[in-house]
Amino acid sequence: MYFADLIPTRSHLKLPFVMAYDLFPQETLMKKRDFLTQAAEEKWWIFFDHDPKAPKGKIIKESDDVFVIET
């Protein structure tokens, strides 16, 4: 999955972080949570277009709303 500006780097995995220019941050946050949960459950490969240290990896859900990347 390529999340583009929704999650441009692994630092942006944290909830409730959304991009500053987002016009609907609450809706974006809910979708982001849904996508990350599904990505962790289904073991998707995730690509980060702006992260020089972790350009790809898999999402792991550590606890409720805490996600990390495994490269």
Nearest CA-CA partner of 35 in 71, 64, 7: 7
Q: Look at the chain and report how many structural domains it folds into.
A: 1
Domain span at residue 62 reads 4-70
Bridge partner list, 63: 66
- For 16, the enclosing helix (H) or strand (E) is none
The 8-class DSSP code of residue 50 comes to T
pLDDT tens digits, one per residue of 33-62: 999 999 999 999 999 888 888 888 888 888
Nearest CA-CA partner of 8 in 37, 18, 33: 18
pLDDT tens digits, one per residue of 16-31: 888 888 899 999 999 9
Position 71 scores a pLDDT of 66
